[in-house]
Amino acid sequence: MDKSLTILDPKILTKFGNLSLVAKTIVEGFISGLHRSIHKGTSVEFVEHREYVRGDDPKYLDWKLYGRTDRLYIREFREETNLKAYIVLDASNSMNYASQPQTITKFTYAQCLAGCLGYLMMKQNDATGLVVFDSDIKSFIKPSSTRTHFHFLVENLENLKPGKDTNIGETLHKIANHIRRRSLIILISDLFDEQESVMRGLAHFRHKHHEVIVFHIIDRGEMEFPFDGFRDFIDMETNERISIDAPAVRAAYQNIFREFLSFYQRGCSERGISYSRALTQTPFDYFLYQFLELRSQTI
């Protein structure tokens, strides 16, 4: 990962402070804001202890714990909603691409998006989990809303490296079969796989009444194909190599890539899936801020 760009940079996260995901006007925080409010009531549940600091309400002091430790701790609670969220992150090797040395890879961009989403959900006491996949599921972390859980998610995100080839469609089916409770599914991927298979996997989530958001991560170079002369191109997942005259195929390539993007945008729209394309040349915090602000206005 580019060390000059760290996940959860406080300067970036503070940009979300005023927006606060429009929590007061959208009701019940981030997830219900992204959702069309399918909550059916809440309950209050104990989460964890933290050390007492000046200004905390004394009524939440745990006197039994004080008797055992001789230290003051506050009991923290959260409102338990009827909805959980899963960030589904593509860690296949195609995500490791960057067209220019000064730009970050698609995978680093995706890590940052996932980290910001986890932070925002934790801040609003919403439970979030993390599923990482390449050709199969690499890790599956169940949702929670505690600070300890959030730090665990971030640690996992920061230690990830893109791995094998991909099998998005089949992997999405496996994840959909595993998640039985109605949830918010946030897929972060370049969607480089057999397109109909991917859409069937996404449709599986909708069939099970999950809400789905797709963040389609693209490098501008993949859209524009700005290469000159004869070049060797190597598939990052299969290592297949071809030599072509780049300018001679540019127009045809660009047309195919536009069709690729249109397929997903159209397919998601037809299935009631929220689709948003992110170019890695666009600062990820700006992209996410704009997405959330637009989303809040359409619900």
Co-location of 50 and 121 in the same domain:
no
Domain count along the chain: 2
Range of 62's domain?
Answer: 43-79
State the pLDDT at residue 150. 84
Co-location of 58 and 202 in the same domain:
no
pTM listed for this prediction: 0.76
| CA 195 – CA 258 distance, rounded (Å) | 13
Angle between helices 246-270 and 195-207 (to 10 degrees): 20
Co-location of 49 and 100 in the same domain:
no
Co-location of 74 and 91 in the same domain:
no
Co-location of 64 and 161 in the same domain:
no
Co-location of 26 and 74 in the same domain:
no
Co-location of 15 and 61 in the same domain:
no
The segments of the chain whose pLDDT lies below 50 read 1-5, 10, 13-14, 17-43, 82
Co-location of 55 and 109 in the same domain:
no
Co-location of 21 and 52 in the same domain:
no
Co-location of 146 and 32 in the same domain:
yes
Q: In CATH, what number is assigned to the domain containing residue 117? A: 3.40.50.410
Say if 255 falls within a structural domain: yes
Q: Where are the alpha helices (DSSP H) in the chain?
A: 10-13, 23-26, 29-34, 63-69, 106-123, 147-158, 168-178, 195-207, 220-224, 246-270, 284-297
Q: What is the dihedral of CA 75, 119, 133, 100, to 10 degrees?
A: -160
Say if 1 falls within a structural domain: no
Say if 4 falls within a structural domain: no
Q: What angle do CA 119, 136, 276 make, to 5 degrees?
A: 45
The DSSP call for residue 215 is E
Say if 121 falls within a structural domain: yes
Which residues, 6+ apart, have CB-to-CB distance to 173 below 8 Å? 200, 201, 204
Co-location of 66 and 171 in the same domain:
no
Where does a domain end: 24, 55, 79?
Answer: 79
Say if 3 falls within a structural domain: no
Say if 231 falls within a structural domain: yes
Co-location of 68 and 188 in the same domain:
no
Say if 32 falls within a structural domain: yes
Where does a domain end: 27, 62, 79?
Answer: 79
State the pLDDT at residue 155. 86
| CA 90 – CA 193 distance, rounded (Å) | 11
Say if 108 falls within a structural domain: yes
Instruction: Tell me the C-alpha to C-alpha distance, in Å, between residue 38 and each of 33, 35, 83, 87, 243.
Output: 10, 7, 8, 19, 52
State the pLDDT at residue 41. 42
Classified as helix, coil or strand, 22 is helix
Neighbours of 209 (CB within 10 A): 9
